[in-house]
């Protein structure tokens, strides 16, 4: 009985995690494709559009995996639409540089979180999560463009650093909302280990975030 | 000498046609990906996003072909940015149904034109043009959604029929602008045949347009 209950929780949690990740990838596609319209050059536009299609193929990988297990992908994603929509509505980039910082900082911090949590998933979904988190080239692109912009106009650094902090704040707010609504997902997090292990995990994520801000030339 | 001159014109014209088609596919990607945000259901959103990535892979096929012939794809596209941008700015859909009609009617009439003109291209670019014009599934999707909407609310038919006519009008305006600017491309059109052949070609394109409007349940 104990084993069955554990499996049931773990299954609900796995579907939740995949649903959240799938909708995250779908909105990443939409956001990058839309941001491509703001691109200052045709080359930038092509680069963004290409990365957007990479996100969509990640989305399809999860979508098809859920289907293959007779799980409705749309039902799996639905619980996470409000939180992700609220996050994106509250953090609409005002310009091209803000959109690059958002994509880099936001997607990377989410990816770190998924990677940590994937460790407690069974083998097949774990491999799937790790494979769809592969960088679509956005990181190097964003770092290059943002650094170049700050080199030309150092006053941008202050505004973009504040923007990075705001993104993390809104992401945490929505993450708490998801955690409060989805017990199975929260249980998965508890499965990572004791409080000390969890604290170490969050420290790793925050440290990596600081390193990325530094790579952009911004204070975290 | 005559042969060399013909080849040179044909080469310029081929690059022009591929540049125009490439930028058309790139803007189709952007438009469909952006329209996906207006999608009324998650299923519609996924369908649109999937078709958008299909357009992007068509774009990349032309992009890579030009590169393989040492032609800069961005330079090939640049002359057509103003006309295509003007067309899209002047025909921004007000809602989801207008965006479906635009994608179906606009892309199909452009595809018919490209298909006709591809006949005079040399073998390799001709095959490329025909392959990237393959329908990404948008036609059946648009027809189904628009017909269903009109069945539910017949008063939509009038507004959408007017919208279809406006799209054709704006497309013709921009086509004339391109024809006036790009002599090589116009020469390619002349290469299709005498005036009678050209007239027959336009009749075929207009007839096909009428059939598509009828398929949508709209008067042309």
What tens digit of pLDDT does each residue of B130-179 get?
988 877 677 888 899 999 999 999 999 999 999 999 998 898 888 888 88
Distance from B207 to chain A by nearest Cα, in Å? 34
Helical (H) or strand (E) element with B40: none
Q: Which of B42, B219, B44, B36 is nearest to B144 (CA)?
A: B44
Pick B205 or B22 by higher pLDDT: B22
Substitution target in B43, B54, B56 with the highest count of A β-carbons within 10 Å is B56
Asked if B33's CB is within 8 angstroms of A29's CB, the reply is yes
Chain A positions touching B59 (Cβ under 8 A) are 49
Closest-CA distance of chain B to residue A156, Å: 28
Q: Closest residue of A to B41, CA-based? A: A74
- Residue B69 near chain A (CB below 8 Å): no
Residue of A nearest to B36 (CA): A30
B45: contact with A, CB 8 A cutoff:
yes
C-alpha–C-alpha distance, residues B17 and B20, integer Å: 5
The whole-angstrom distance between B205's CA and the closest CA on chain A is 31
Q: How far apart are CA B137 and CA B57, in angstroms?
A: 14
By Cβ distance, the residue of A30, A49, A63 closest to B26 is A49
Contact B37 A36 (CB under 8 A): no
Closest in B34, B53, B74 to A56, CB measured: B53
CA distance B34 to chain A (A): 6
Average pLDDT for chain B: 87
State whether B50 and A43 contact (CB < 8 Å): no
Considering only the beta carbons, identify the residue of A33, A46, A63 that sits closest to B52: A33
Looking at residue B1, its pLDDT comes to 42
Q: Does the pLDDT of residue B50 top 60, yes or no?
A: yes
A50, B43: Cβ pair inside 8 Å? Answer: no
What pLDDT band is residue B98 in, cutting at 50, 70 and 90? Answer: very high
Q: Are A50 and B60 an interchain contact pair (Cβ–Cβ within 8 Å)? A: yes
The pLDDT value recorded for residue A10 is: 59
Give which of B173, B189, B160 is closest to B16, Cα–Cα: B189
Sign, CA dihedral A20-B56-B107-B123, equals: negative
Question: Cβ contacts (< 8 Å) between B77 and chain A: which residues?
Answer: 42
The confidence score (pLDDT) of residue A188 equals 78
Q: What is the mean pLDDT of residues B168-191?
A: 83
pLDDT of B192 > 90? The answer is no
- Give the Cα separation of A48 and B99 in Å (integer): 23
In sequence order, which residues have a C-beta less than 8 Å from that of residue B164 and are 6 or more positions away?
A: B101, B105, B213, B216, B218, B220
Count the Cβ atoms, other than its own, within 10 Å of residue A57: 13
CA separation for the pair A47, A178 (Å, rounded):
32
Any CB–CB contact under 8 A between A219 and chain B? no
Going by pLDDT thresholds of 50, 70 and 90, the confidence category of residue B3 is very low
Q: How far is A27 from chain B (nearest CA, A)?
A: 9
Decide if B46 and A57 are in contact by the 8 Å CB cutoff. Answer: no
Q: Is the pLDDT of residue B215 over 50?
A: yes
B81 at interface of A, judged by CB pairs closer than 8 A: yes
Residue B10 has what pLDDT? 59
- The CA-atom distances, in angstroms, between B34 and each of A66, A125, B30, B37, B133 are 26, 30, 6, 6, 21
Return all residues near B189 (Cβ < 8 A) that are at least 6 apart: B117, B179, B198
Which among A30, A46, A78 has CB closest to B33? Answer: A30
Of the candidates A42, A63, A77, the beta carbon closest to that of B77 is on A42
- Say if residue B109's pLDDT is above 60: yes
Q: Quickly state the pLDDT bin for B181 (edges 50, 70, 90).
A: confident
Q: pLDDT tens for chain A, 220 residues: list them.
A: 444 444 554 588 899 999 999 999 999 899 889 888 889 999 999 998 998 999 999 999 999 999 999 999 999 999 999 999 999 899 989 999 999 999 888 888 888 888 888 888 888 889 999 988 877 677 888 899 999 999 999 999 999 999 999 998 898 888 888 888 888 888 877 777 778 888 888 888 889 999 999 998 888 7
């Amino acid at each position: 009985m104990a084993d069955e209950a554990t499996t049931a929780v773990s299954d609900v949690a796995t579907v939740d995690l995949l649903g959240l990740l799938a909708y995250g990838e779908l909105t990443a596609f939409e956001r990058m494709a839309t941001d491509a319209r703001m691109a200052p050059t045709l080359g930038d536009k092509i680069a963004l559009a290409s990365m957007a299609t990479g996100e969509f193929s990640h989305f399809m990988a999860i979508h098809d995996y859920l289907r293959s297990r007779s799980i409705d992908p749309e039902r799996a994603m639905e619980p996470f639409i409000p939180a992700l929509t609220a996050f994106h509505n509250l953090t609409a980039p005002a310009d091209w540089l803000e959109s690059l910082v958002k994509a880099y900082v936001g997607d990377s911090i989410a990816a770190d979180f998924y990677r940590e949590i994937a460790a407690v998933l069974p083998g097949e979904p774990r491999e799937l999560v790790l494979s769809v988190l592969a960088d679509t080239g956005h990181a190097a692109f964003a770092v290059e463009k943002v650094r170049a912009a700050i080199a030309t106009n150092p006053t941008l650094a202050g505004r973009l650093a504040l923007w990075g902090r705001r993104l993390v704040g809104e992401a945490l707010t929505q993450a708490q909302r998801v955690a409060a609504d989805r017990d199975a997902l929260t249980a998965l997090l508890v499965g990572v280990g004791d409080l000390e292990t969890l604290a170490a995990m969050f420290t790793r994520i925050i440290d990596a975030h600081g390193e990325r801000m530094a790579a952009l030339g911004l204070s975290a």
